[in-house]
Amino acid sequence: MGKLTGKLIAIVTENGFEEVELTSPKAALEREGASVHIVSPQKDKVVSWDKKNWGKDFSVDKQIRDASVEDYDAVLIPGGVINPDSLRRSNEAVQFISSFFEQGKPVASICHGPQVLIETGKLKGRNVTSFFSIKTDLINAGANWSDEECVVDQGLVTSRNPDDLPAFNKKMVEEILEGKHEAQKTK
């Protein structure tokens, strides 16, 4: 039995997510005993981006319109350039992710993934990091951006790129273990 046995985590993604930014955190969560669902606006499958080309297909466990935040203990948004741009155009995805903040549940996002978090309107005054090319977007959304491998702010876990996955995965597991963060609700 792992530390996260009994926990259910949603990975919210569209097509074009950076493959390792889904597979590495998913494996880390499952090693700790968590169950993981891929939740997407897509119905049956999503296709990854693997460095410079389309990668593997992954089955969608639950379509976003059928997902309920109450069923999940935390949410993860992988990066990639295509994925967050598509997700932020989905009102259902943005509302689903926003509800994790409202309920004080952990939110983890890496690389370009925090672009989706901008759409939630929940980043004002929050400490974050990301891939450097979206730094200005996050600052304009009111976030405090810093160039660190992993930034944790009351249940919000962000990292810059795939090189940061070991630190990201570790901190994500820690924040899920801590459970709800009341301070996350008030920011």
Catalytic residues: 111-112
- Using CA atoms of 101, 104, 108, 112 in order, give the dihedral in degrees to the nearest 10: 20
What are the residue ranges of helices labelled H in the chain?
19-31, 82-87, 91-102, 114-120, 135-140, 165-178, 182-186
CA distances from 62 to 5, 72, 99 (A): 20, 12, 17
183 backbone φψ class: left, alpha, beta (φ>0; ψ -120 to 50): alpha
Q: How far is it, in rounded angstroms, from Cα 162 to Cα 21?
A: 6
The number of angstroms, rounded, from the C-alpha of 91 to the middle of its chain's C-alpha atoms is 16
Please state, as a whole number, how many other Cβ atoms lie within 10 Å of the Cβ of residue 133: 11
What is the residue-wise DSSP string for 77-104? E---SHHHHHHTT-HHHHHHHHHHHHTT
